[in-house]
Structure 1
Amino acid sequence: MDSTSLSKLTLRVGGFDVDMQSGELCNDGEKIRVPDQPFQILRLLVERRGEVITRDELRQQLWPADTFVDFDRSLNSAMKKLRDALGDSADDPTFIETLPRLGYRLIAPVEQQQPRSRRWMWAAVAAVVVIAIGIVAALRFSASTGPQIHAIAVLPLANLSGDANQEYFADGMTEALITDLAQLQEVRVISRTSVMPYKQSKQSLPEIARQLNVDGVVEGGVVRSGGRVRVTVQLIRAATDQHLWAHGYERDLSDVVTLQRDLSSAISEAIHAQLAPSAHAAQRVNPAAYDFFLRGTAALGKESAEGVKYAITYFEKAVAIQPDFAPGYASLARAYSQLAYSGAVAPRESMSRAKQAALKAIDLDPQLAEGHTELGLVHFRYDWDWRASEQEIPRALLLNPNEASTHTAYATFLRIMHRPAEADAEVKRWHEVNPYIAKRAEGFIGSAARYRTAGDYPKAIAEMRTAVQMDPSLPRGHFQLGWTLAEAGQIPDGITELEKSVQLSPKNLRFQARLAWAYALAGEEEKARAILAELNKHSAHSYVSPIAIGLVHIGLHENQSALDFLEEAYRDRDFELISLTPGSTFKPLRLEPRFRELMRKIGLPEA
């Protein structure tokens, strides 16, 4: 019987009933779910039972060249799903035999089933009619009421070049796609920090989707060759492993931004969602400038002081080559802001450059969310212009509602403004778009720091203890827990945790200063002054935050010396001054006129 005839029959394959027309697999009357591609492989194997079907034949039949180029990974995954459904083993097969480097062969017996009764056939026809009506209704409903996918994750694009030195390019393209898709209306898009841990993950897509709480997954690969780039992606409904859409794009490197926009637009159409009307227009970009931009993005993602410095160099080269490249200026602003936050340089020096770059980004592209985010953070951390900050950060969230870092920055701003309910709403949104980090130690540390800023020590301590239990090797966890315990009056326990942070990160001067402060509170003056001497020695040849030194003087009850350093921090525009509230570390200074004048000049609201 030829394959055309077979395609209309229900066949008995081993102990399974295979309906070649409907694509159903049953065992003793129980339907077994098999995704579409694995079933198509089974169909081909059944139609040519006993023959070898090569991998190349499967590629041509099921993976056309213009859909998805990571063929080996997709085929291996599909074969595993098919074998799992059949209860088969690659090592000791009873259904499908693997011929290494060649292909596959069906070895199970195939028999034709007896014709079904006319009564069953009429019931089936009726069922098909009902289902068809339901499908039409569902399509009308989905087209008229909103997206078919409500939460989506873009997994790290595979580097298909075979060159490990091109990883930065694949990672940068992943982040660019996430940034574009983040502007989708009514769709939650998972942040870069939550998807990058799944790079080269062996977990199944449904399992990854469950962990990230999404119903759609985008995966694919990218290769750059000469002056051209090719990106191929597929969109999958996670629950059913159903392929919703797949396509490949190839462009000159100068059109890579257009490629990204076309790709994000196609995905938005596939899930019946709309990109924000404010989405910035694509532009041609100099290939060398874009390469520096991606290198800078990769360096910034390392989250280290050295990485930030490399990122600044790369971004400056990018905008020097192409002065009208707005994303380059926005990323440069972010890098300068992070440099100041790291404590490696005086904030006045770095944040003024961050402000210039952010303003330039907005001037070039007023609809670029990242530019408004960075300008809002400059107003918040450096200018202490609360009104301007509240204009820029919400503007950024309107343009890109899925940017995790903007939500957490706004939450911190709202807590300092004594608006806890609004801050909690932003934290909740941050958890939704950053689920991987939110469930890790870093997420608990971030939420605990916000609780401490608000003076809620019990919640802050509980969150910090959870973080330390999850990752005892993380210095920042012990530092934040020790700081919070000591500030809450549990000084011996605080010292224990702060000592652990210094042991894990001995070169961190901020950690050392906080430990000296705690020693002073505990009456261990000799230990406190030994660290203070080291901080002063270090400040002679490199930047040390005046607040770090002032903290130790507060612990030693040397209020006037402490105020000298706080006033120096004010001249430096040190970002830590935004936590200058009378109910925290600075409580001993609350009645000092100089302290109250500082509070007035910074403009912090009264609790």
Structure 2
Amino acid sequence: HAEPLKNVKEPVRIYEVITNSNEIEPLNLVSQKPGRTVQNKSIAVLPFVNMSNDQDQEYFSDGMAEEIINSLSHLKDLKVAGRTSSFQFKGKNVDLRQLAKKLGVSTVLEGSIRKQGSTIRVTAQLIKVQDGFNLWSERYDRDVGDIFAIQDEISLAITEKLKITLLENDRDKITKTYTQNTEAYELYLKGRFFINRRGASILTGIQCFQKAIELDSDFALAYAGLADALSLSASWGLVKPRLVMGKVKQSAEKAIQLAPLLCEPYCSLGFYYNFFERNWKEAKKNFLKSIELNPRYPQAHYLYGWDYLSWVEGDFGEAEKHGEMAIKLEPLSAICYAIYAQILIAAGKFKEGLDLCKIGIELDANSFLCHLGEGNCYTGLQQYEEAIGSYQNAIRISNGHHFSLSALMWTYSISGDVEKAHVLFNQLKEKSEKEYVTNTLIGLSSAYLGDFDEAFNYFQKGYDDPEPFLLSLKYGTWVPSSLKADPRYKELLKTISFPNKIMQPELEA
């Protein structure tokens, strides 16, 4: 068992040691190895334990920790472990020293929340990992409306105990309250909780953000969350992009108007311009603005690297740097490994991509994107049996998502099992009659079966919609070479009007 913590007023939970010989070692290709250099002024905020009788209050305890992470991450002198990496330990008994070593931090904040009606009890404690010493602990018995004040007090207590020098605007950033409406705030936390689960939960998240905005029409975070969720719904192929594109732009711009220093809405605008308007200068400018406002926001790094640098410019060297940065910020996030792997796949580096996907699967065995990427890599390495196994896992995890169905169909076609390819193609077509299926993927599937006329009809639909996946046709390693030889392929790329050189955005002074 772990040693008892010293000087603890009210222990929240003692973590038991569980040794895992299979400890995740970072890859050599990640230049700065994640989770190895421990900085003195560094912290991991663990998900707060939900002590309420109602398990549905989980979003509230998760949200509390996430908001503290967000406010502390504005401080340049403090290294803060990313949300996904810290939440990797949720509900697990782990030794704090092991945890801190993996995250590269010297202190850990843990806490609990009990919410009953309109009252909450929050306990929090800051622990120095090296000797288990309790640097600070507090218990708050308050009205639920005081949640913002409690978050501020905890964040400020941490900066004081870790001797972080606060500049005037630092204090403003970490104590900024975006709404006084606690019901709207709870809906916002619920929305974040659902979109973090990805998949169809994103649609539930959208509803939560919309309800929050109905309650407070000046709630910048809810607009930012809505723009993010709508972008995700399009990129995951959950909805027809045309149905959400206008709302992505409108929500992101409203968030920026209300809170110009928020980084998330700029990232959503980058996504919007990249895929929906195909306005490359604006896409690049907004992605970079998001990174400038918060260099520690991993989503801006991996989306800029994957969606823009890889698919639009084909600047894989620069894209890889942003993929690495996302992993450095979130060393235990499966999605960061999955998306960095996609950057490597587009560059034809299948072996390196495969290594990343395997780490991602170790971190989260149910990561749809990691299993999908693993299949892409095996296909690229011509290890078709292994690829088929990976895609079957992705299909099982995602309840038959059309991304994985189409990828499996292509692999059957490439490996010569035309009969199975036809069966899956028919399944895809049937699926598209009941729900939205990305036209570009049906087009590629048609091309694998040799029907180029049908393929280009679907590409046209993908162009008109406009579908994010269409942009992968230029650098996607899954595009059949026979399709590239068709003159209509070059015409299509010309119509998409990819930049013919690396673009320099006109950044505002």
Aligned to 1:185: 76
Listed as ranges, the matches of 1:123-142 within 5 Å are: none
**1:308: which partner in 2?**
202
Q: Closer, same or farther in 2 for the Cα pair 1:603/1:509, shift >3 Å?
A: same
What does residue 256 of structure 1 align with?
147
By relative contact order (CA 8 Å, sep 6+), the higher-ranking structure is 2
Say if 2:326 is the partner of 1:437: no
Shift of 1:153: 0.5
Give, in angstroms, the shift of residue 326 of structure 1. 0.5
**Equivalences for residues 554-569 of structure 1 within 5 A:** 554-569=447-462
TM-score between the two structures when normalised by the length of structure 2? 0.82
The within-5 A match list for 1:186-585 is 186-248=77-139, 252-273=143-164, 274=166, 277=170, 279=173, 281-305=176-200, 307-412=201-306, 413-416=308-311, 417-437=313-333, 444-464=337-357, 476-487=369-380, 489-491=382-384, 494-495=387-388, 497-499=390-392, 501-502=394-395, 507-581=400-474, 584-585=477-478
In structure 2, the residue matched to 1:164 is 55
1:370-391 Cα distance to aligned partner (Å, 9 max, x none): 2222222222333322222222
Please state whether the residue corresponding to 1:557 is helix, strand or coil. Answer: coil
User: What is the Cα deviation at residue 569 of structure 1?
Assistant: 0.4
Letter in 2 for 1:177: I
User: For 1:320 and 1:220, how far apart are their aligned partners in 2?
Assistant: 31
How far is 1:151 from its partner? 2.5
How far 1:253 moved relative to its partner? 3.9
Q: Deviations over 1:462-518 (max 9, x none)?
A: 444665688777654443333333345555654454455446656222222222222
- Please report the RMSD computed on the Cα atoms of aligned residues, expressed in angstroms: 3.2
C-alpha deviation, 1:301, in angstroms = 2.5
Aligned equivalents of 1:473, 1:287: Cα separation in 2: 34
**Letter paired with 1:359:** E
Amino acid at match of 2:279: D
Residue 325 of structure 1 and its aligned partner are, at CA, apart by: 0.5
Partners of 1:469 and 1:193 in 2: CA distance: 14
1:317 offset after TM fit, Å?
0.7
1:124-172 superposed Cα distances (whole Å, 9 cap, x missing partner): xxxxxxxxxxxxxxxxxxxxxxx98432110111234444332221111
Cα gap change, 1:500 to 1:167, in 2 (>3 Å):
closer
Task: Point out the more displaced range, 540-549 or 315-324.
Answer: 540-549
2: CA distance between counterparts of 1:474 and 1:324? 35
Deviations 1:163-206 (A, max 9, x none): 43322211111111111111111322112211123224332322
Secondary structure class of the residue paired with 1:152: strand
Aligned-pair CA distance for 1:557: 2.4
Q: Quick check: 2:191–2:204 contact (8 Å CA) kept in 1?
A: yes
Farther-moved stretch of structure 1 (465-474 vs 191-200): 465-474
Partner of 1:22: none
- 2:333 counterpart SS class: helix
CA contact (8 A) 2:45 2:108 kept: yes
What is the Cα deviation at residue 288 of structure 1?
1.6
Does the 8 Å CA contact 2:444/2:455 hold for their aligned counterparts?
Answer: yes
CA distance in 2, matches of 1:197, 1:584: 32
Q: Which amino acid aligns with 1:406?
A: A
C-alpha spacing 1:345/1:318, structure 2 compared with 1 (3 Å):
same
Tell me by how many angstroms 1:331 deviates: 0.9
Q: Which blocks of at least 5 consecutive residues in structure 1 are unaligned?
A: 1-32, 38-61, 64-70, 82-146
Whether contact under 8 Å (1:372, 1:393) holds in the other structure is yes
1:183 maps to a residue whose letter is H
Q: How big is each residue's C-alpha offset from its partner over 1:215-237, in whole Å with a ceiling of 9 and x where there is no partner?
A: 12111223334445453322222
Deviation, 1:358, is: 1.2
Residue 91 of structure 1 corresponds to which residue in structure 2?
A: none
Q: 2: distance between equivalents of 1:203 and 1:486? A: 37
Between Structure 1 and Structure 2, the one with more strand by share is 1
Cα contact 1:216–1:237 (8 A) shared by 2: yes
| 224-233 or 524-533: bigger deviation | 224-233
Q: Which moved more, 1:265-274 or 1:152-161?
A: 265-274
In the alignment, the residues of structure 2 paired with residue 312 and residue 356 of structure 1 have an alpha-carbon distance, to the nearest angstrom, of 14
Contact (CA 8 Å) 1:415, 1:450: kept in 2 or not? yes
* 1:155 and 1:195 in contact (8 A); partners too: yes
**In 2 relative to 1, CA 523–219 (structure 1 residues): closer, same or farther, beyond 3 Å?**
closer
Tell me, what secondary structure is at the counterpart of 2:450?
Answer: coil
Greater than 6 Å deviation, 4+ residue runs: 468-473
Give the match's secondary structure for 2:332.
Answer: helix
Q: Distance in 1 between matches of 2:394 and 2:183?
A: 42
Q: Label 1:378 to 1:231 Cα distance change in 2 as closer, same or farther (>3 A).
A: farther
SS of the residue 1:219 aligns to: strand
User: Post-superposition shift, 1:531?
Assistant: 2.3
Q: 1:284 to 1:503 in 2, by over 3 A?
A: closer
Number of positions where the alignment pairs a residue of Structure 1 with one of Structure 2: 472
* CA displacement at 1:300 relative to structure 2: 2.0
**Which runs of 5 or more residues in structure 2 are unaligned?**
18-37, 502-509
Tell me: CA distance 1:299–1:493, structure 2 relative to 1, closer, same or farther (3 Å): closer
Q: Could you list the per-position Cα deviations for residues 525-567 of structure 1 after superposition, in whole angstroms to 9, with x for gaps in the alignment?
A: 3332232223223322321111121111221222222111111
Give CA-to-partner distance per residue, 1:255-310, whole Å, 9 cap, x none: 533443343233223323347648383244212212222222222222231x2222
Q: Please, which moves more after superposition, 253-262 or 336-345?
A: 253-262
State the shift of 1:458 in Å: 3.4
Letter in 1 for 2:182: P
One-letter code aligned to 1:419? D
Q: Which amino acid aligns with 1:199?
A: K
Q: 1:337 to 1:249 in 2, by over 3 A?
A: same
